A = this chain, B = another copy of it.
């Protein structure tokens, strides 16, 4: 019997999957939750064989939970189940040594198969993911630049950014200029769009 835990903030999917998985003779869902925080508490308590984690959830992401599981040396294996084939997400997942990374646009049968395969020690990455990885852009921005860009993304003016970050007006403009040149764009909106499309935030 393989025991499972399901963390997914979309109830429709979460409840549907839980019911389906429980129909399988060899699978048992020990619990579910809709946010990363309770997910981690539950997992640490219930110690399921496999935790199926969505990435974008309230309070803590599935990747945060995966980190926690790794740090606590639990035997629980992790399958990430997400909409997003983003390089950055995938890279973090690999660092957290997850056993599987599935996309929500594969059918639910794939999840069942993945669960059984992961249980035998295999590592499962969605093939579409690997394709997307190739032409995905790496984030070329420094930490500081990202902070500036994030603030700009909120619609903050140069002056407001400068005040928030305790920098001078000119410095902020320099940072933005450097950001644009790195990204090959010429204004804030384009830079923000690019960052959002690549999920750099």
Residues of A within 8 A of B (CB): 9-17, 19-20, 34, 81, 83, 103-109, 111, 152-155, 157, 185-190, 192-193
Contacts and interface: CB of A to CB of B under 8 A. Distances in A.
Contacts of A190: 155
11 contacts: A11-B105, A11-B106, A11-B108, A14-B107, A15-B108, A15-B109, A20-B20, A152-B189, A155-B190, A188-B189, A189-B189
A57 to B, nearest CB: 12
A185 B155 CA distance: 9
B106 A12 contact: yes
Contacts of A153: 189, 193
A185 to B, nearest CB: 7
Contact of A16 (B13, B34, B157, B188): B13
Contacts of A13: 10, 12-13, 16, 104
